[in-house]
């Protein structure tokens, strides 16, 4: 196994990078916009059955969820997504909702978890093709075309085979059945921008192999909430679009690619009404803040058609949004019923000089993680926002698990979608010849890095009683 060194997540907080020019920022944002616009169209293409299904509970009715059609059958031998098995036994559909009827009776649901004081975010990347990837791209029908890099023409697949190894403990092997048992009669929801959506797609693929095809389906509630239903567990894995967490002019997932972004830092109820009663909430907000050094804050309200705004510093505005979010959490979350996570910043790899590759073009053609760096790594992540988020979590009355995915992700220059994403189909030859403009170095291929983020979430969830 090959290992690549990591560093403590606390290093580099003093580095306060500022974009060198507006042109660079716009180039980085182009791929981000293309990903988001096409994703909404892809939701309707998720592979589910055309027959409408419903949960035994009234949860779907409460959300007004509309089933999204499914098509196709998954491969008959899916067990390798969770367990290393050599059997080619065809997956058996249960005659009743009894979970045990379609799981190996010898399967062990208890796994050893790291000590709660172990820092699972400091460690190294280990090349491990025996256990990773956790699923195969062509065997998960729930992936959108924006993240299926192999299908979109990427030739190498090494990016799928790296495992995160903490320095002083080990992560438990991901077990889809154990996670679903923890989610029985519960809801798990990702809330935030397209990086959280990236992670949501990952989680759906990580669990889908142990669910018979006729016992799972996808639905939508309104335009912003997408729900993956696991019928036999009466569980859901959901994604809610809210790129700033608070109200903004980018809240419509079908029409949000705006360069003139405006937020209302004190207004959160429009989104937060959908978060009530969720058992596991996973929040993020970062990428949409990075198009400008300043943030436009609305005077008045969007409902009244106000267009006047003030410009304030990015960090100041970010802190205001976090205060609004924290107040809502403290007022509305019962920690005995709901566990709250907050993902730190997902990095962008838009400057190849950051890893000593002067001839490189952003993340294009990068096939291995960053290694052999003698100084603290700096790929342009705004660590001021990182520090603001962590400080907010530390001060809150309700416990929030701050998931420091930033540092471990900064080493993964190889894992982005780059030119192997899709917008209205694959890129043209002319576009492929211009990676400086078209390479998406914000989002991640799947299988890939977001699977590791979910392994960390899994570790936290199964470690709790």
Identify whether the C-beta of residue 290 lies closer than 8 Å to the C-beta of residue 348: yes
The active-site residue, picked from 194, 209, 346, 418, is 194
Instruction: Determine whether 440 is an active site residue.
Output: yes
Distance CA 369, CA 438 (A): 21
- By the 10 Å C-beta count (0-12 exposed, 13-18 middle, 19+ buried), 439 is classed as buried
Joined together, the tokens standing for residue 74 give: 């998954």
* 225 strand-pairing partners: 221, 240
Nearest CA among 451, 341, 347, 322 for reference residue 406: 347
DSSP track, 406-464: HHHHHT-TTSEEET---SSSSPPHHHHT-HHHH-EEEEE-SSSHHHHHHHHHHHHHHH-
**Cβ count within 10 A of residue 49:** 17
Instruction: Determine whether 334 is an active site residue.
Output: no
Nearest CA among 448, 417, 429 for reference residue 30: 417
Type and span of the H or E element at 41: helix 22-43
- Rounded to 5°, the CA angle 394-398-402 comes to 45
Identify whether the C-beta of residue 111 lies closer than 8 Å to the C-beta of residue 175: yes
Distance CA 427, CA 279 (A): 40
Lateral strand order in the sheet of 309-313: 247-248, 262-264, 294-298, 309-313
369: left (phi over 0), alpha (psi -120 to 50) or beta: beta
- According to DSSP, residue 355 is labeled G
The active-site residue, picked from 251, 404, 414, 440, is 440
Instruction: Determine whether 194 is an active site residue.
Output: yes
Distance CA 348, CA 406 (A): 10
Distance CA 179, CA 186 (A): 11
Cα→Cα distances 131→98, 128, 158, Å: 29, 6, 13
- Residues recognised as catalytic: 194, 440, 443
């Amino acid at each position: 196994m090959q290992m690549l060194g990591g560093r403590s997540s606390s290093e580099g907080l003093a580095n306060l990078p500022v974009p060198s020019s507006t042109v660079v920022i716009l180039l980085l944002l182009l791929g981000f916009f293309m990903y988001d616009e096409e994703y909404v169209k892809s939701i309707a293409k998720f592979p589910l059955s055309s027959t409408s299904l419903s949960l035994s509970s009234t949860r779907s009715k409460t959300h007004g969820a509309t089933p999204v059609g499914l098509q196709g059958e998954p491969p008959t031998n899916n067990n390798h997504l969770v367990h290393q098995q050599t059997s080619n036994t065809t997956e058996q559909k249960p005659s009743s909702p009894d979970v045990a009827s379609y799981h190996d009776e010898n399967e062990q649901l208890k796994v050893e978890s790291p000590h709660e004081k172990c820092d699972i975010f400091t460690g190294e990347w280990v090349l491990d093709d025996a256990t990773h990837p956790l699923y195969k791209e062509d065997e998960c029908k729930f992936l959108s075309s924006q993240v299926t890099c192999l299908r979109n023409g990427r030739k190498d697949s090494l990016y799928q085979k790296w495992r995160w190894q903490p320095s002083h403990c080990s992560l438990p092997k991901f077990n889809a059945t154990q996670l679903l048992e923890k989610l029985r009669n519960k809801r798990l929801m990702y809330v935030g921008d397209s990086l959280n959506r990236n992670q949501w797609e990952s989680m759906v693929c990580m669990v889908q192999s142990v669910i018979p095809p006729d016992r799972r389906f996808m639905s939508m509630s309104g335009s912003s909430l997408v729900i993956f239903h696991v019928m036999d567990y009466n569980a859901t894995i959901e994604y809610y679009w809210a790129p700033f967490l608070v109200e903004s002019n980018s809240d419509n997932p079908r029409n949000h690619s705006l360069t003139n972004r405006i937020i209302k830092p004190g207004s959160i109820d429009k989104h937060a009404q959908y978060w009530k009663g969720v058992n596991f909430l996973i929040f993020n907000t970062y990428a949409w803040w990075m198009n400008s050094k300043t943030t436009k804050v609305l005077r008045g309200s969007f409902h009244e058609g106000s267009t006047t705004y003030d410009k304030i510093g990015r960090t100041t505005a970010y802190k205001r949004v976090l205060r609004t979010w924290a107040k809502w959490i403290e007022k509305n979350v019962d920690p005995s019923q709901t566990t709250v996570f907050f993902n730190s910043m997902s990095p962008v790899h838009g400057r190849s000089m950051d890893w000593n590759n002067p001839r490189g073009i952003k993340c294009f053609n990068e096939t291995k993680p960053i290694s052999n760096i003698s100084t603290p790594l700096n790929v342009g992540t705004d660590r001021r926002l990182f520090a603001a988020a962590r400080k907010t979590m530390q001060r809150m009355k309700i416990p929030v698990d701050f998931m420091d995915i930033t540092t471990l992700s900064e080493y993964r220059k190889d894992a982005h979608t780059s030119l192997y994403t899709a917008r209205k189909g694959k890129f043209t030859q002319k576009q492929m010849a211009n990676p400086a403009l078209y390479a998406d170095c914000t989002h991640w291929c799947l299988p890939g890095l977001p699977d590791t983020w979910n392994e960390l979430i899994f570790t936290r969830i199964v470690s709790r009683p």
